[in-house]
Amino acid sequence: MKTLIIGIGGAGCNEVSKLNQKLKGDFAVVDTDSRNLESLDIDRKLLIGESITNGLGTGSDPETGAKCATQSAGEIEELVKDYEKIYLIAGLGGGTGSGAVPIIARIIKGFGKKVKTIVTLPFSMESPVRQNRAMTALEELRNLCNVYAFKLDDLIRRMPNSTLAEGFEEINNKLVRELNLPERSEAEVIELKKRNMEREIERLKKKIRELEKVKKQ
Ligand SMILES: Nc1nc2c(ncn2[C@@H]2O[C@H](COP(=O)(O)OP(=O)(O)OP(=O)(O)O)[C@@H](O)[C@H]2O)c(=O)[nH]1
Ligand SMILES: [Mg+2]
């Protein structure tokens, strides 16, 4: 079955771009935040709701996240059209992941495709507002599709001496096991890194050209 793995919102994009570096598979990232998308080493990127947020993100508002997904339904359809099974990965608690994932899941299900979501729930030290946003989104998702949710607290409890970065790395390892895709060969990893560096050089060259233009004015 042809499978696409989509990261949504800051956390989802982060996890998926790390998976893309390790595994052979089809990956994409979706966000309301254009600067976050720009920073990612991944080919398939979709900015949703551009005319609603101007690419500036939802300001932690799930309603805006949902509107952005609805506005970009056509592009989402285009993104998933060649696939039969789609995994959606996100951190719940912010505006994009919590608001857009349920809408995107519904859109994809509407095309008769299989959808599975893998989400994280906020640390208990995050605000009650974030916890509530996450629980509302989780409930919505559970009514729609297969959900694999794990609490960030549980993860840290099992690794009390680790840093947050190591905790997120552990989530990534869990995702690697869950997705069960073949690993990239060493040669492929090097090729990917080279391509990413070339892309970064092009981006910096463009930036320099823009700055030089401004200086001349
Ligand atoms: N798995 C994982 N979770 C994260 C990471 N960073 C933050 N989180 C969690 O994900 C939740 C959502 O944060 P983001 O993904 O930044 O939010 P967003 O979906 O981009 O939403 P807005 O930026 O508010 O539009 C946070 O409340 C954290 O609990 C990460 O790198 N990996
Ligand atoms: Mg964000």
From the CA of 58, the nearest ligand is 1
Ligand 1 pocket residues where CB is under 6 Å: 9-11, 14-15, 32, 57-58, 60, 65, 91, 93-97, 120, 122-123, 126, 130, 152, 168, 171
Query: What integer is the mean pLDDT of 96-111?
Result: 97
At 1 the pLDDT is: 87
201 to each of 26, 190, 214, how far by Cα in Å? Answer: 25, 16, 20
pTM above 0.85, yes or no: yes
Closest by alpha carbon to 32, among 55, 63, 8?
A: 55
Q: Looking at the predicted structure, is the pLDDT value of residue 84 above 90?
A: yes
How many A from CA of 173 to the centre of ligand 2?
Answer: 22
Atom number in ligand 1 closest to CA 61: 24
pLDDT digit string, tens, across residues 120-161: 999 998 999 999 999 999 999 999 999 999 899 888 788 777
Between 161 and 80, where is the model more confident? 80
> Which residue CA neighbors atom 16 of ligand 1 most closely?
10
In the chain, the DSSP E strands lie at: 3-8, 26-31, 45-47, 85-91, 114-121, 146-151
pLDDT bucket at 163, cuts 50 / 70 / 90: confident
pLDDT bucket at 31, cuts 50 / 70 / 90: very high
Please state the domain extents for the chain.
Answer: 3-184, 185-217
pLDDT bucket at 105, cuts 50 / 70 / 90: very high
From the CA of 33, the nearest ligand is 2
Atom number in ligand 1 closest to CA 126: 27
pLDDT digit string, tens, across residues 85-100: 999 999 999 999 999 9
Atom number in ligand 1 closest to CA 100: 19
Structure tokens at 38: 């720009």
d(CA 99, CA 173): 26
What is the dihedral angle through the alpha carbons of 100, 104, 105, 108, rounded to the nearest 10 degrees? 180
Fold annotation for 3-184: Rossmann fold (3.40.50)
Percent of the chain having pLDDT more than 90? 77
